[in-house]
Structure 1
Amino acid sequence: MKLGRNDDCWCGSGKKYKKCHLGFDSKIEQAQMEGMLVPDRKLLKTPDQVEKIRQSARINTGVLDHVAERIQPGMTTAQIDKLVYEYTVGHGAVPAPLGYQGFPKSVCTSINNEVCHGIPDEAIVLKEGDIVNVDVSTILDGYFSDASRMFCIGAVDEEAARLVRVAKECVQRGIEAIRPWGSMNEMAEAVNAHAEANGYSVVEEIGGHGIGLEFHEDPYVCYVPCEENDMLLVPGMMFTVEPMVNQGGREVWLDEENGWTIRTSDGKLSAQWETMLLVTEDGVEILTE
């Protein structure tokens, strides 16, 4: 239903529509008329929702800090899973991956050529020279948060360390390119250009996602410019920046034996950092990293 100028605004502020979101909605309508993909109102988080998501995010960051203090050669990925589970439930929250579409553990641990969704296991032991992505997601009182970090286990070779560093720089370049009323492709171009300038490739088949009220919401976030996924960036949107940067080609394959783990097709290394952010009126707010 289209609101009149003097109707109460749809956002619940109690203000008249003309004094609140009329100009905001006009910008969105103009972009849509120009053929751009625009977010549905349900994707725009209210101040109350943002505050509750921040509380979830603080626990999520705490989990990664907890792992960072303890991860070392000789540790199994099952031990990382235990650290994540115990810290999360000890803070009154729930690990979002546990049981999600049948996923059996509380965290994803992806090592070396594993791009994402590595499953913790007692038989998988971290060894000197490995690089590992620890991907943590948290539910607190029904509100979701998500982030991942790369860890270098002991002394890693120069090329592995460089890949990990450049993957983090790709996230930073992407965040710097995000601006309210800009486009998702501006972020994707910044990510992809930095990866390619360093001789790496960005996975196209798997991307980021909206988050906050659900584990995975719209929009789908691609890190290679793509017209069908190029969405107007509107204040109130919340999503992850998590490009998967490959040492070799961008092609990947699914391990059908466990149904989850994605690996590089050429067997070369992959690295990923994940940050969750909120688009604001004047930039972005980093919620997890």
Structure 2
Amino acid sequence: MAVTIKSEREIELMREAGRLLAKTHLELEKALRAGMTTKEIDRICEEIIRSYGCTPSFLNYNGFPASVCVSINDEVVHGIPSKKRVIHEGDIVSLDTGLIYKGYQSDAARTYGIGEISREAAQLIEVTRQSFFEGIKFAKAGNHLNDIGTAIQKYCEQFGYGVVRDLVGHGIGTEMHESPEIPNFDMGRRGIKLRPGMTLAIEPMVNMGRYDVAWSDDEWTVVTDDGSLSAHYENTILITEGEPEILSL
């Protein structure tokens, strides 16, 4: 599938989708607390998204049963919310969600510490977040796709972290996952040339230990192979003539 270049009208709709998703994440952050179930987070997330007149992107996407992926500690991504799963003080929790506004998608993820977390966990969250910003320094027209992932990998590996290889970022628009795939690591080839009007979901997934991951029995939840903590940070961005525009902040 070819990479879509968005028109001015489409960009406006994606801006609004991103703005509403940023608000959703701020509301979720306020609601997060020790003692709540992951199912409760999902209920709150769906209510927020629908209150904006939007549709949760993730609900029933390829059969995913919830509006938000809630991944705790060694869970990398795609954690399924459950009434039995309780969040505890000291956990780190990744929330990945998206919404559809007038047919256009936005996608973003954040990792939060619950109460007092270890210094190591706090550093992992911060480095993962910063690696996104290191990557998008290269998200400019004329650069190549691989410049983004190479910058993310280089930054994270200075801290001894493993950048997940089995999962990647993606183009986004009327579909949640569009071309191109966007690795968070050096893929050994330049990839496509970036052009104004491309909209991309850049999402470093970073493990405190090795980069290897495994799939749980539910066939959705991805965990670190070595049991180390994992963090996730994602925004939907627009390639412009100059600096990239972050749509979901």
Same fold (TM over 0.5): yes
1:167/1:244 contact within 8 Å kept = yes
TM-score normalised by L of structure 1 = 0.84
Provide the rounded CA distance (Å) in 2 between the counterparts of 1:225 and 1:146: 23
Q: Does 1:127 align with 2:113?
A: no
2:36/2:86 contact within 8 Å kept = yes
The correspondence of residues 264-283 of structure 1 with structure 2, limited to 5 A, is 264-283=224-243
Shift of the alpha carbon at 1:59? 1.4
What's the % identity of the aligned pairs? 38
Please state whether the residue corresponding to 1:67 is helix, strand or coil: helix
Q: Deviations over 1:145-165 (max 9, x none)?
A: 010111100000111111111
1:248 to 206, 209, 215: 209
Q: Does 1:221 align with 2:182?
A: yes
Q: Deviations over 1:224-267 (max 9, x none)?
A: 11145722111111111111111010000111x21101000001
Q: Does 1:160 align with 2:160?
A: no
Provide the rounded CA distance (Å) in 1 between the counterparts of 2:239 and 2:28: 28
Q: Does 1:286 align with 2:246?
A: yes
Q: Does 1:65 align with 2:30?
A: no
1:53 to 4, 14, 23: 14
Provide the rounded CA distance (Å) in 2 between the counterparts of 1:215 and 1:205: 18
Q: Deviations over 1:117-145 (max 9, x none)?
A: 00111111110110011011001121100
Please state whether the residue corresponding to 1:89 is helix, strand or coil: helix
Tell me which amino acid in the other structure corresponds to 1:166. V
Please state whether the residue corresponding to 2:220 is helix, strand or coil: coil
2:144/2:190 contact within 8 Å kept = no
Tell me which amino acid in the other structure corresponds to 1:155. E
Provide the rounded CA distance (Å) in 1 between the counterparts of 2:141 and 2:98: 26
Please state whether the residue corresponding to 1:43 is helix, strand or coil: coil
Q: 1:25 corresponds to which residue? A: none
Aligned-pair Cα RMSD in Å: 1.2
Where structure 1 has 5 or more consecutive residues not aligned to the other structure, the ranges are 1-38
Q: 1:118 corresponds to which residue? A: 79
Structure number with higher relative contact order (C-alpha < 8 Å, ≥ 6 residues apart): 2
Q: 2:146 corresponds to which residue? A: 185
Shift of the alpha carbon at 1:201? 1.2
2:147/2:190 contact within 8 Å kept = no
Where structure 2 has 5 or more consecutive residues not aligned to the other structure, the ranges are none
Please state whether the residue corresponding to 1:163 is helix, strand or coil: helix
Tell me which amino acid in the other structure corresponds to 2:229. L
Please state whether the residue corresponding to 2:66 is helix, strand or coil: coil
Q: 1:81 corresponds to which residue? A: 42
Change in CA separation of 1:187 and 1:266 when aligned onto 2, cut-off 3 Å: same
Please state whether the residue corresponding to 2:31 is helix, strand or coil: coil
Shift of the alpha carbon at 1:186? 1.2
Q: 2:104 corresponds to which residue? A: 143
Q: Deviations over 1:146-191 (max 9, x none)?
A: 1011110000011111111111111110011222110111111110
1:179/1:279 contact within 8 Å kept = yes
Provide the rounded CA distance (Å) in 1 between the counterparts of 2:88 and 2:11: 39
TM-score normalised by L of structure 2 = 0.97
Q: Which aligned segments of 4 or more residues in structure 1 are displaced greater than 4 angstroms? A: none
2:223 to 241, 253, 263: 263
Please state whether the residue corresponding to 1:146 is helix, strand or coil: strand
1:184/1:232 contact within 8 Å kept = yes
Q: 1:7 corresponds to which residue? A: none
Provide the rounded CA distance (Å) in 2 between the counterparts of 1:201 and 1:148: 18
